[in-house]
């Protein structure tokens, strides 16, 4: 079983930037896709971004495309989410998840989840 721990959340003004970090342990990191999801109060958890095992493919929700960038460092077993031009609607708890295989974009494709990190964007 893999463990993932997110960090980097916080309070930022609209238009600002944050970088989330997710450290994974417990299995060979480079064999699995990684993803970021988020959940706002009263809403279901939604997909934000995902990256394949070799970083050959990245996928984004339409709402963050062009503003967020997912990347990974397999040598450090770490995945990042760079968030730019933040909006108030980006306020949510952000979750990192480890995929069941080398590719995944849906929540069902990810079997190991972190506890989440809060991102609050003030307008």
Q: Vertex 30, ends 58 and 47: CA angle to 5°?
A: 35
Residue-wise pLDDT tens digits, 6-43? 999 999 999 999 999 999 998 899 999 999 999 999 99
Buried b (16+ CB within 10 A) or exposed e, 13-23: eeeeebebbbb
Q: Vertex 46, ends 94 and 11: CA angle to 5°?
A: 30
Quick check: 5 and 95 in contact, CB under 8 A? no
Quick check: 20 and 6 in contact, CB under 8 A? yes
Task: Give Cα separations from 114 to 23, 26, 93, 95 (angstroms).
Answer: 10, 13, 11, 6
Residue-wise pLDDT tens digits, 71-106? 999 999 999 999 999 999 999 999 999 999 988 999
């Amino acid at each position: 079983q893999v463990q993932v721990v997110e960090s980097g959340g916080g309070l930022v003004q609209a238009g600002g930037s944050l970088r989330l970090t997710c450290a994974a342990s417990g299995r060979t990191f480079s064999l699995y896709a990684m993803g970021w999801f988020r959940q706002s109060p009263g809403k279901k958890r939604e997909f934000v971004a995902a990256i394949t095992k070799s970083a050959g493919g990245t996928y984004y929700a339409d709402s963050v495309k062009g503003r967020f960038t997912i990347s990974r460092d397999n040598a450090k077993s770490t995945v990042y989410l760079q968030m730019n031009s933040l909006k108030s609607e980006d306020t949510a708890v952000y979750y990192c998840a480890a995929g069941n295989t080398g590719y995944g974009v849906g929540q069902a494709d990810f079997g190991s989840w972190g506890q989440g990190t809060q991102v609050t964007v003030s307008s």
